[in-house]
A and B are shown apart, each in its own frame.
Chain A
Amino acid sequence: MPSTNHRRSHLARLILAAGLACAGATPSVQAQSTTEASTQASALSVLAIDGSIDATRRASQQAMASLHDGAQLVVQSVRLVGRGLVLGVKVVGTGAVLLITLPVATGLAATVAAGTLVSVAIEAGGMTLRVAGELLGFLPAAEALDLLHRRELGL
């Protein structure tokens, strides 16, 4: 395991990278500001998963690898950042803490609060996060993210 300082520094880079990636992105979540990211990094020693479809890919995939099919997460904190929902969650059993950013294009997001139990399932193309059986979020896997790009010809 990397040291705490290393992990904090790593997290700051992850969130900053996510912010940079999202700044010019099309749909989904808006990025945190660099200041917010730094504050977040100081407060938490966690891995970050950005579930927006424009997320920095390798960083999120690394964090996603810490989850497995059937994992249970307990929400510890909820924060709205732009059009994104940032969940601080703890993995039941391992105690690992994750920071997951999701687009807020679901009514279910409004009902999520500290203590909410989230179930993880691995499916083709990524992971689903469900609350009481209802789909809260989808985290695309690397193989799906590789199929996500757009360019207009002639421009």
Chain B
Amino acid sequence: MSTAALRRFALALALALASATSHAGTACVESTHDADELRRAAQLAVGVRQQLETVDAPVALLSRVGTDLSEHGLHYSHAGFAIRDHRNGAWTVVHLLNQCGTDRSGLFAEGLMNFYLDDLAREDTRITWLEPATAASLATLLADEHAVLSLHRPRYNLLSPPGSRRSQNSTAWVLEVLDAAALGTAQSGPAHTATARPARGDRPDR
């Protein structure tokens, strides 16, 4: 994916997920999974890992359907980065999760099975590969936990657009990380987004 295409994709993702953030992933740890949820998550995780191994790339964007948003014309409800060489294991997913319906969020490094155990509405997922240069930059950024955390704002808001100074949601965090990677710098976040995105023609999502 070229930088321009990445930007278009990011904008499309922002628009597509703008009303979907209420269905983004959560970090509730008390849930019990039944046999069918385990089976579905394991099958999907193992299959996705096999697919991820077929491309020589350090990172991919993974999207899942946590909630059926088809009535809104939307498909995927949550996204995160799958990282090939991660300290917690191959193809660990790094993503932002809401803390059990509160106004807080955290960044989590999870296995693929965890990623797909979070109340899947459909066994449907998308792997998005990036241009090698962007992927390399993204992998470098994601390997720096301090840099990753610096792009996180713990106050969670469903309607928070990318670049908000006060709050963030799963999609906004993904977009800001992509933004930083596309620019080849860890420089991103509210101040940067507020000036850079309009300058290159990005329009805010309502």
- A complexed with B: yes
Chain A residues in the interface with B (C-beta under 8 A)? 26-28, 53, 83, 102-103, 105-106, 123-126, 128-129, 135-138, 140-141, 143-154
Query: Closest residue of chain B to A153, judged by CB?
Result: B107
Interface residues of B (CB under 8 A from A): 27, 29-36, 38-39, 41-43, 45-47, 49, 88-89, 91-92, 94, 106-114, 145, 148-149
B145 touching A154 by the CB < 8 A rule? yes
A138 and B110 contact, Cβ closer than 8 Å, known pairs A27-B32, A147-B49, A147-B91? no
A141 to B92, CA, bound (A): 18
Determine how close the nearest CB of chain B comes to the CB of A1; give it in whole angstroms.
Answer: 30
Residues in B neighbouring A83, C-beta threshold 8 A: 32
The residues of A that contact B112 with a CB separation of less than 8 Å are 147
Are the C-beta atoms of A153 and B32 separated by less than 8 Å?
A: no
Measured between beta carbons, the chain A residues less than 8 angstroms from B114 are 147-150
Residue among A106, A143, A150, A153 facing the most chain B CB atoms (10 A cut-off): A150
Q: Are A124 and B42 in contact (CB under 8 A)?
A: yes
Q: Are B107 and A152 in contact (CB under 8 A)?
A: yes
Query: Given the interface contacts A124-B42, A124-B47, does A150 sit within 8 Å of B110 by beta carbon?
Result: yes
Q: How far is the CB of B125 from chain A (nearest CB, A)?
A: 13
Q: For B39, what are the chain A residues with a Cβ–Cβ distance below 8 Å? A: 123, 125-126, 128, 135, 138
Q: Is the CB of B33 within 8 A of A144?
A: no
Q: Please determine whether A150 and B109 come into contact, CB atoms closer than 8 angstroms.
A: yes
- Please state if A144 and B35 are interface contacts (CB–CB under 8 Å): no
Q: Within 8 Å CB of B38, what residues of A?
A: 53, 126, 138, 140
A residues in contact with B110, CB < 8 Å? 149-151
Contacts of B41 in A (CB 8 A): 125
**10 additional contacts (CB under 8 A) given A27-B33, A138-B38:** A26-B29, A105-B32, A126-B39, A140-B113, A145-B113, A147-B111, A147-B114, A150-B111, A151-B108, A153-B107
Contacts of A152 in B (CB 8 A): 27, 106-109
